[in-house]
A and B are shown apart, each in its own frame.
Chain A
Amino acid sequence: MSLLLKNSYSLIKNAIVSTSLRTLSTTNQLRLKEIREHKEGSTVVLEGVFVPSPRTELLVRAENVKESPHICPNTCYMCALDLDVKHTDVLILSQFVRSDGCMLPRRITNLCPRQQKKIGKLVTMAQKAGLMINLTPSYCKKDPKKRYGFKKFNTYFDEKTIFMKRIPKPTDRFER
């Protein structure tokens, strides 16, 4: 009996909610892929549009920057740029991070495994030092000095402590 009641309840709920729920969104500004809706006479046209990324104009690539680029075709863009990134370079590190401060996966960052691991560790260092406090989950207290115990004091990190020996080199790929 109770099962029947439950089923009937969910049926009614579905009937009410499904009319107002839409899985397609039309007005999200941030999407690189956007769905737009417009009317042509009596028909409503829905179309998915690719929006240009806000970063393409500001993009820095080694082949545009360096005088004589002799870049191996297999290297990723960070290896080719050969930047000395520190954990305090938050303007660079924040590009690899989601809005909740989580490192983006490799299929999105398009880095080589070595760089992905290195930048992931640098992001962790910057987060622990409280340098990217606006890119944290919503439940985070937005002031590093209000953290608990030893975490409320300033901490810096040495980039030499990243164990690059354990991270595979691009040449190691075929040696397994």
Chain B
Amino acid sequence: MSAAKRVQQWATFARTWHIFDCKWQDPYQSAEVIKKYLLGMHKPIYHPMNDCGDVVVCINSREIALRGNDWRQRAYFHHTGYPGGATWTLAWEVHNKDPTMIIKKAVYKAMRGNLQRRHTMQRLFIYPGEEIPEDIVQNVTNQIRQLRLVPTRLDHIDEEEVKKFPKVMDYPTDYVLK
């Protein structure tokens, strides 16, 4: 085997580390993308019996965005196993307790429920903020593209730029500005 082929062999079967910024991302939509990287479905050598999945590091999981009124309407179910042990926790209460829980559950739910699922979840690292341990940062070689654009707040835009921006609406002549 030539040197080039040998390197190709390593590159094919090595685990790649991907980073994903969850800022203003929908966890349930991004779980579908993260799942593909965790299982290795983005590779041409993919096969369900083939252990070719990658590692994904999610950062800023505290900054995820849910759609519409999902924060107060989506409930997470848990049952202790005892009679009357059922609890329903709203998404914002779950997020208050553990800011990594929602994205973790979303990825877990996106995958098929087989024996591999819990082992695949071991390859998912989630951090609530931007601080990651140094040994994990060193492994990362790829970034997964965000699904949604991070919106810009109006007070973060320059006042000059806001004034110079082309206008659509004009006031009537007798309007008194407030």
Contact = CB atoms under 8 A, between A and B. Distances in A.
Contacts, number: 120
Nearest to A158: B67
Contacts of A55: 167, 169-171
A112 interface: no
Contacts of A96: 169
A99 B169 CA distance: 15
B44 interface: no
Contact of A60 (B149, B152, B166): B166
Given A60-B168, A95-B167, A155-B66, A31 B152 contact: no
A114 B71 CA distance: 29
Contact of A77 (B72, B168, B178): B168
Interface stretch (B11-19, B120-128, B153-161): B153-161
B153 A155 contact: no
A91 B153 CA distance: 9
A155 B90 contact: no
Interface stretch (A9-17, A66-74, A146-154, A165-173): A146-154
Given A58-B166, A90-B153, A155 B173 contact: no
Interface residues of B, number: 40
Interface in A91-122: 91-92, 94-96, 98-100, 107-110
B4 interface: no
A157 B69 CA distance: 9
Interface in B61-81: 63-68, 70-72
Contact of B92 (A30, A31, A94, A153): A153
Contact of A155 (B68, B149, B162, B168): B68
30 contacts: A31-B176, A31-B177, A33-B173, A33-B175, A50-B173, A50-B174, A53-B171, A54-B163, A58-B164, A60-B166, A60-B167, A78-B168, A81-B168, A83-B168, A88-B151, A90-B153, A91-B162, A92-B168, A94-B154, A95-B169, A108-B171, A131-B153, A133-B153, A134-B154, A134-B155, A150-B91, A154-B63, A155-B68, A156-B24, A156-B65
Given A32-B171, A131-B154, A158-B68, 17 more contacts: A32-B174, A33-B176, A55-B169, A58-B165, A88-B152, A90-B157, A91-B157, A100-B178, A129-B151, A135-B154, A150-B71, A154-B24, A154-B63, A156-B65, A156-B66, A156-B151, A157-B67
Interface of B: 24, 26, 63-68, 70-72, 90-92, 95, 148-149, 151-155, 157, 162-178
